[in-house]
Amino acid sequence: MMIEGTQEYSLNMGPQHPSTHGVFRMVVHLDGEVVTKVEPKIGYLHRGLEKMAESRTYTQFIPYTDRLDYLAGPHNSLGYVQAVEKLMDTEVPERAEYLRIIFAELGRIASHLVMIASGSLDISGWTPWSYCFRDRERILDLFEMTAGNRMTPNYFRIGGVSQDVPEEFMPALKSFLEDMPEMIEEYYGIFFGNEIAQSRMKSVGILPKELAENLLITGANLRASGVQYDVRKAEPYGIYDRFDFEIPVLYGCDTYDRHFIRLLEIQESKKIIEQAYKDIPAGPVMTKVPKVLKPPVGKVYHRVENPKGEMGWYIVSNGSTKPARVRIRTGAFVNVQMLPEIVKGWKIQDLVTIFASMDLVLGEVDK
């Protein structure tokens, strides 16, 4: 409701703005501090990954997949290599399957930690931010000692993983898992349990269940709106069917729940890694695959549960060494469309919080 004699004005937030998490741009229409309309503008980080895939061999494209959701590198590559393996009917050794699960779930924890960290930073919580990054650092160290790279490990290969983990990996992983309950308690104490933080997030930016389903929202955002859906359970890929874990679901539909569900998912990922740590067999980590990969003519669709949402890989092969077409369905890209729907009527301050709760990574949105 506008007061007579006042005027709406538009504010251009981004692509260079402290809290747009990369190069996201929104045109915000404001009545005073109240948001009346938001137009998301994407594409500032568009690198044409799908087109790039067409000019690279199947193996050469693996490092690029890490750069989709660069906060959770392993899970992107997992989707890609499993899609190609499905196309080629390749068996993966047991140990490699377990290592993949460990890495993918570590990546999920790292991604969720960054989400909680940046979410708290967007309401000016500097201390929770540095706590989360401190603990994420240990995951990156694990990636580094195995694959050499930190954020984009480029560890998975078609038919296994690039190499076995070094000797010091398993003890470091164990001590990380042992320290996790304490970390989670710390995050709760300083961020989730904080009265001011709760008042900032609770009942802000409601995404009702019907709206979430209609907009095809996936991932933790959907589960925070009361839908218990996760590709790891709905259509288990890899060896996810062997693990005992829950899909957490919250019914608050608000910003707080979208943050809090990440904390719950971190605990479930911890359970998965613990089981994988216990059961991991010895053996080779790479199956015999030809030097030059030539998948048979055909097409394949494979989907995985990326930390940001459901990630689908559609690959068309024409029998040559390069894919004819690669189409990537990324969760974050689809999740963007919930922003204009749920920010109406909230203040510009809440817009920042709501945006943080969507957990977008622009590498994945713009591809």
Partner 1 sequence: MDALNNLFVNIAAAIRGLFADSHSFGADLSINIIVFIMLFLIMVVAALFLSLVERKFAHWVSQRSGPNRLGPHGWFQFIADAVKMLGKEDITPANVDKFLFKMAPMMLVGVTLMVFGVIPFGEEMVAIDLDLGILYFFAVSSLTTLGILMAGWASNNKYSLLGGLRAVAQMISYEIPLIFSLLGVVMITQTFNLSAIIEAQKTIPFIFLQPLAFLIFLIAGIAETNRAPFDHVQGEQEIVAGPFTEYSGLRWGLFMLAEYGNVVATSAIAVTMFLGGWYGPEFLPGWLWFILKIWLVIFLMMWVRWTFVRMRIDHLMHFAWKILLPLALVNIFLTGLGIYVYDLFIVRIGG
- The residues binding partner 1 (CB under 8 A) are 9, 11, 17-19, 33, 120-127, 129-131, 134, 190-191, 194, 196-197, 199-200, 347-352
CA distance 65 to 364: 10
CB-based contact 73:153 (threshold 8 Å): yes
Q: How far is the CB of 272 from partner 1 (least distance, A)?
A: 28
What is the nearest approach in angstroms of partner 1 to the Cβ of residue 194?
Answer: 6
How far apart, in whole angstroms, are the C-alpha atoms of residue 171 and residue 178? 10
Q: CA-to-CA distance for 175 and 330, rounded, in angstroms?
A: 33
As measured in angstroms, the least distance from the Cβ of 4 to partner 1 is 19
Q: Which is nearer to partner 1, 78 or 352 (CB)?
A: 352
Tell the smallest beta-carbon distance from residue 117 to partner 1 (Å). Answer: 11
Q: Which of 357, 356, 361 is nearest to 151 (CA)?
A: 361
Residue closer to partner 1 (CB basis): 126 or 251: 126
Closer residue to partner 1 (CB): 200 or 258? 200
CB 12, min distance to partner 1, A: 8
Q: Taking the CA atoms of the chain, what radius of gyration do you get in angstroms?
A: 21
What are φ and ψ of residue 115, in 5° steps? -65, -45
Query: Could you tell me the two tokens for 64?
Result: 């690029």
CA distance 35 to 59: 46
User: In terms of CB distance, is 117 or 272 closer to partner 1?
Assistant: 117
Q: Tokens standing for 10?
A: 């538009």
Which residue's CB is nearer to partner 1, number 196 or number 297?
196
